[in-house]
């Protein structure tokens, strides 16, 4: 059995600022003073058989303290003109619509307060797109961190009552492994509890997807571990246009393209995450693949190009 301890679960956690202490995870009730729910922010474009819409759930107050492992981080941040506490990252989800399907990729933070209040923009965003939670027939989950699955529940009830919940089988296996949870440090147990609450809320509508398999037509999940043990990226083949939703392959489009080996505080295995990051970046830069990311500058669509030993992110919009 794989041994797990603080270092193998959240190797970078020692660097996390106090505001992100994991003890704050998994408070399933709406906190008092949670008044900063953002309104609708969305961007929509055609993607072959699907229409894709980026939906902003909120902004994560990341800063210098979340990144570690290179002396080049400070000079980089100075070069691009951002202060040490000013590296905010959007938390985005993506809606895919066709004549037959209404699919959500990830569901934002919802009521979870891991990174403070101010999340929950997903539902107003869906409403602005003309979609109610009951219209959603599938949620594809890239990984089981609170900023991706928190929005799947309200209290301990499913928000998307008619949706199948698809996630990678490695990820599902990890967060439901009682032995893993027992060995996890106390401050990480909340993440296991939250993941299990969400999977419990969707019950027999949870589908575990094998590496490389399709969750829906033209929508396949590929294991890309390191951020979490079963972190997956999602290839969307719309027919005449393809897109790779790379989820948390990068936590910052500024830092992780210039310095792809830099560790991030929420990576379960920063070295493996860096390996996966370079593999994905090499793949998408060679093919000039359109990418979308959960924490790339909203709406989060662009291309990652090779730039010497590192990479460069180029945002794109299309109609």
Among residues 113 and 248, whose Cβ is nearest to Zn ion? Answer: 248
**Shortest separation between residue 247's beta carbon and Zn ion, angstroms:** 7
Q: Of residues 106, 164, 248, 269, which one binds Zn ion by CB under 5 A?
A: 248
**Shortest separation between residue 227's beta carbon and Zn ion, angstroms:** 8
Among residues 180 and 273, whose Cβ is nearest to Zn ion? Answer: 273
267 binds Zn ion, rule: CB under 5 A:
no
| CA–CA dist 209, 174 (Å, integer) | 14
**Shortest separation between residue 71's beta carbon and Zn ion, angstroms:** 26
For every residue of the chain, which 3-state class applies, written as one string?
CCCCCHHHHCCCHHHCCHHHCHHHCCCCCCCCCCCCCCCCCEEEEEECCEEEEEEEEEEECCCHHHEECCCCHHHHHHHCCCCCCCCCEEEEEEEEECCCCEEEECCCCCCCCCCCCCCCCHHHHHHHCCCCHHHCCEEEECCCCHHHHHHHEECCEECCCCCEEEEEHHHHHHHCCHHHHHHCCHHHHHHHHHHHHHHHHHHHHEEEECCCCEEECCEEEEECCCCCCCCEEEEEECCCCEEEEEECCCCCCCHHHHCCCCEECCCCCHHHHHHHHHHHHHHHHHHCCCEEECCCCCCCEEEEEEECCEEEEEECCCC
The dihedrals phi and psi of 275, each to the nearest 5 degrees, come to -65, -45
Among residues 56 and 218, whose Cβ is nearest to Zn ion? Answer: 56
**Shortest separation between residue 240's beta carbon and Zn ion, angstroms:** 30
147 binds Zn ion, rule: CB under 5 A:
yes
| CA–CA dist 134, 271 (Å, integer) | 40
Part of the chain binding Zn ion (CB under 5 A), chosen from 3-11, 31-39, 61-69, 140-148:
140-148
Question: Residue 293 is encoded by which pair of tokens?
Answer: 């990311």
**Shortest separation between residue 295's beta carbon and Zn ion, angstroms:** 6
| CA–CA dist 180, 238 (Å, integer) | 38
Among residues 66 and 281, whose Cβ is nearest to Zn ion? Answer: 66
106 binds Zn ion, rule: CB under 5 A:
no
Part of the chain binding Zn ion (CB under 5 A), chosen from 22-30, 51-59, 106-114, 144-152:
144-152
Among residues 146 and 260, whose Cβ is nearest to Zn ion? Answer: 146
Among residues 236 and 247, whose Cβ is nearest to Zn ion? Answer: 247
Total residues contacting Zn ion by CB under 5 A comes to 3
Among residues 218 and 304, whose Cβ is nearest to Zn ion? Answer: 304
Question: Residue 60 is encoded by which pair of tokens?
Answer: 């994560």
**Shortest separation between residue 100's beta carbon and Zn ion, angstroms:** 29
Part of the chain binding Zn ion (CB under 5 A), chosen from 69-77, 113-121, 233-241, 248-256:
248-256
Among residues 171 and 248, whose Cβ is nearest to Zn ion? Answer: 248
**Shortest separation between residue 184's beta carbon and Zn ion, angstroms:** 19
Binding mask 271-310 for Zn ion (x = CB under 5 A): -----------------------x----------------
Part of the chain binding Zn ion (CB under 5 A), chosen from 94-102, 187-195, 218-226, 241-249:
241-249
Return residues touching Zn ion (CB under 5 A): 147, 248, 294
């Amino acid at each position: 059995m794989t041994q797990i301890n603080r270092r193998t679960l959240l190797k970078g956690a020692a660097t996390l600022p106090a505001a992100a202490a994991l003890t704050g995870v998994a408070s399933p009730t709406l906190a008092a003073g949670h008044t900063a729910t953002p309104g609708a922010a969305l961007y929509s474009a055609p993607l072959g058989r699907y229409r894709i819409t980026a939906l902003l759930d909120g902004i994560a107050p990341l800063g210098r303290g979340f990144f570690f492992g290179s002396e080049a981080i400070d000079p980089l941040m100075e070069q691009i003109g951002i202060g040490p506490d000013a590296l905010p990252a959007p938390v985005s989800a993506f809606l895919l619509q066709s004549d037959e399907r209404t699919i959500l990729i990830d569901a934002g933070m919802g009521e979870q307060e891991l990174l403070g209040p101010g999340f929950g923009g997903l539902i107003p965003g869906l409403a602005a797109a003309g979609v109610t939670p009951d219209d959603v027939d599938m949620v594809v989950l890239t990984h089981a961190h609170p900023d991706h699955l928190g929005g799947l529940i309200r209290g301990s009830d499913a928000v998307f009552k008619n949706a199948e919940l698809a996630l990678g089988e490695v990820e599902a296996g990890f967060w439901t492994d009682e032995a893993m949870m027992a060995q996890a440090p106390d401050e990480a147990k909340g993440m296991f509890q939250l993941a299990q609450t969400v999977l419990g809320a969707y019950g027999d509508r949870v589908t575990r997807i094998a590496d490389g398999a399709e969750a829906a037509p033209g929508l396949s999940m590929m294991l890309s571990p390191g951020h979490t043990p079963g972190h997956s990226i999602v290839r969307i083949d719309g027919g005449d246009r393809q897109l790779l939703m790379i989820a948390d392959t990068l936590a910052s489009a500024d830092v992780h393209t210039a310095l792809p080996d830099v560790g991030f505080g929420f990576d379960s295995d920063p070295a493996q995450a860096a390996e996966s990051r370079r593999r994905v970046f090499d793949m998408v830069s060679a093919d000039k693949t359109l990418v979308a990311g959960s924490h790339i500058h909203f709406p989060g669509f662009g291309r990652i190009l090779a730039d010497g030993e590192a990479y460069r992110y180029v945002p794109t919009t299309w109609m």
